[in-house]
A and B are shown apart, each in its own frame.
Chain A
Amino acid sequence: MDATQLLKGVLDVAVLAVVETEDGYGYDVVRRLRGAGLTDVGDASVYGTLRRLYSAGALTSYVVPSEEGPHRKYYGITDQGRGVLKAQREQWRAFAATMNNLLSGVAA
C-alpha cells in the first residue's frame, strides 16, 4: 500500500493537529510531521496544505522578522480551525476503529 495515498486524506487533520500544539512556519511543520512518523510527507504538500487551510480560515498567519536571513511566515490555528480539527479527529477515530475492526476480522 502506498503510504502517500493514505496521507493525502489525512494531511489536513495532521497539519491542524501539529499547529494546534504550537504555531509553526512551513518547514517547521514538515519537520514535526516527519518527527511524528509521517516520514514520507512532501515539503510542498505541507506548504500547499497550510496555504489552503489558511484560505479556508482554519489557520491564521503572521510574519516573524529574522535578524539573519529571510522572514518566517508562521501559522497558528483559529477557532474555526479548532472546530474543524475536533470534527475531523472524531471522524478519524470512527474511521480508524471501523478499519481496525474490519482488518482484524471482527466486523459484524
Chain B
Amino acid sequence: MNMELINKTAEYAAAVRQALSDLPAEEVEDLTEGLEADLAESWDESDGKPTIEAHAYANELRIAAGLPAAGKPAGFFERQQKSTQERIAAWASSIRKNPAGAWLLDFLVSLRPAWWVLRGYLAFWLIVEAWVVAPLVPTSIVPLLILIACVGGSVWLGAGTQKPFLRWLTIAGNVLAAFVFLLVLTEAAQSGDTVYYESDAETVEGLALNGHEVTNIFAYDANGALIHQVQLFDQDGKPLVTSVPGGNGCLTWVLDPVNANFNEECDTPGVWLPQTLETGAPAWNIFPMQMAESEYEGDREAKPGAVAMDVKPPFVKVPALTPVASGDSADSDQGTKPGNKDEKNTKESEVKSE
C-alpha cells in the first residue's frame, strides 16, 4: 500500500469528517472508518487526486447511508448540549469499563433518591433561613408543612419524567442546592467553635490563658501600682516566657473605624525586645516586656533606629490589697487570721495556674 498517498489523503479525510461533524461522533466514525485507505486506493487509479470535493463526497456518503442531507448547521446551543451529552455519555461508558467504576456509578445512581430528599431539605432550609428575620411562626406546623412540600416536590421532580424546561430548572436548582449544602456545612463547622480553640491551645507555645496567647504580663504591687520590671520564673525555676518571645506584636492599636465593636487594628507594628541581665545574656522573662517599632514584612527585626518602648498597660492602677495583708510584719503575724487568709490566697492562685 502506498503510505505516501495515504498520508496525502489524511487532509481530505479530515475535511470529510468535518463535513459530517453534525452527526454523532460514533456515526461519523462508522462512516469513515478506513476512509484514508479507501481513498488512497481510489486515488491511485485517478492520478493521485480526489475526483470530487470533500464536502460533496461527505454528502454522497451521507445520502447513501440513508442519513438526511446536511441541513443548516446546528445552532450554538444545540451543538453545546449535544457535545456535552456526548462527552458525559463517553465519560460514563469509559468508567463502566472498569468493574469498580461500574459499581461506583450504580451506587451513585442508587443514591439519587437520597439526594432528592436532601435537596428538598436544603430548599426548606433556604426558605426558613431567608425568612428567619420575620419568623415563620404563628404555629410551628407551618415550617413542617413547608418541609413536607419541599421534600415532596424535590422527589417528584427527580422521580418523574419532565418537560425540557423543567429539566433546565432542575439543573439550576441542583446547582443552587449544592451551593446551599456547602453553606449549611460551613455553618455547622462554625457552630463547633470549641473544637477550634482546643486545637489552638495545643499549638500555642509559651504562656497561654484558656487557649489564648499571653503576650505580655503586667505585675502590680500590693498598692495596686504597676511594677516596671519584674523577673518571673515558674515552679522549677525556668524563666516564664510569653507566647511570642521575639515575635511580632503590635505597638499601638487603633479602633477599627468600620467595625468599632472591639475590633482593633494594629496601627504600628512592633517587635518584642528582651532585657539584658548583668551577665550580658538576654532575658525574655522580664515584664512588662518592651517593644520597638518594626516593619510588617521584617519578621523579627526592629526598624533601624527604633527605641525600646513601654507597652501601654491594661490598667494604670489596680485596687490595692487590704492593708492587713500588705503588712510587712508577716513573720510576727504568722498563725493569725490574716496570715491564714494570705496562705489561702496563694493556694487558690496555684490551683488557678495549673
**Chain A residues at the B interface, C-beta cutoff of 8 Å:** 11, 25-27, 30, 42-49, 51-52, 54-55, 66, 68-73
Interface residues in B34-67 by Cβ distance below 8 A to A read: 34-42, 51-52, 57-58, 60-66
- Contact call B41/A27, Cβ cutoff below 8 A: yes
Closest A-B pairs by Cβ, 7 of them? A48-B64, A69-B1, A44-B60, A48-B65, A44-B61, A45-B64, A27-B38
Contacts of A43 in B (CB 8 A): 38-39, 42, 51, 57
- Contact call B6/A69, Cβ cutoff below 8 A: yes
Known contacts being A69-B1, A70-B36, is A51 close to B42, with CB within 8 Å?
no
Minimum Cβ distance to chain B for residue A27 (Å): 4
Interface residues in B217-266 by Cβ distance below 8 A to A read: none
- Contact call B34/A48, Cβ cutoff below 8 A: no
- Contact call B33/A42, Cβ cutoff below 8 A: no
Minimum Cβ distance to chain B for residue A90 (Å): 23
- Contact call B34/A25, Cβ cutoff below 8 A: yes
Contacts of A11 in B (CB 8 A): 64
Q: Which residue of A lies closest to B16 (CB)?
A: A44
- Contact call A48/B37, Cβ cutoff below 8 A: no
Known contacts being A45-B64, A48-B63, A51-B65, is A72 close to B31, with CB within 8 Å?
no
Q: Which residue of B lies closest to A42 (CB)?
A: B60
What 0/1 readout, one digit per residue, does chain B (286-315) give for beta carbons within 8 Å of chain A? Answer: 000000000000000000000000000000
Residue of B30, B38, B39, B60 with most partner-chain A CB within 10 A: B38
- Contact call A26/B64, Cβ cutoff below 8 A: no
| Residue B3 interfacial (CB < 8 Å) | yes
- Contact call B30/A51, Cβ cutoff below 8 A: yes
Contacts of A66 in B (CB 8 A): 1, 37
Distance between Cα atoms of A43 and B3 in the complex (Å): 20
Band of interface residues on B: 20 to 34
Known contacts being A69-B3, A72-B34, is A48 close to B42, with CB within 8 Å?
no
Set B33, B37, B39, B64: member contacting A52, Cβ < 8 A? B64
Contacts of B6 in A (CB 8 A): 69-70
Known contacts being A30-B42, A70-B37, is A48 close to B60, with CB within 8 Å?
yes
Interface residues in B1-29 by Cβ distance below 8 A to A read: 1, 3, 6
- Contact call A68/B3, Cβ cutoff below 8 A: yes
Known contacts being A27-B42, A44-B60, A47-B31, is A52 close to B65, with CB within 8 Å?
yes
Distance between Cα atoms of A86 and B291 in the complex (Å): 105
Apart from A11-B64, A47-B38, what are 4 other A-B pairs with CB-CB below 8 Å? A48-B62, A52-B66, A66-B37, A70-B34
What 0/1 readout, one digit per residue, does chain B (53-83) give for beta carbons within 8 Å of chain A? Answer: 0000110111111100000000000000000
Contacts of A54 in B (CB 8 A): 30
Q: 28 A–B contact pairs at CB < 8 A?
A: A25-B37, A26-B34, A26-B38, A27-B37, A30-B42, A43-B38, A44-B58, A44-B64, A45-B60, A45-B61, A47-B31, A47-B61, A48-B63, A49-B64, A51-B30, A51-B31, A51-B61, A52-B64, A52-B65, A66-B1, A68-B1, A69-B37, A69-B40, A70-B1, A70-B6, A70-B34, A71-B34, A72-B37
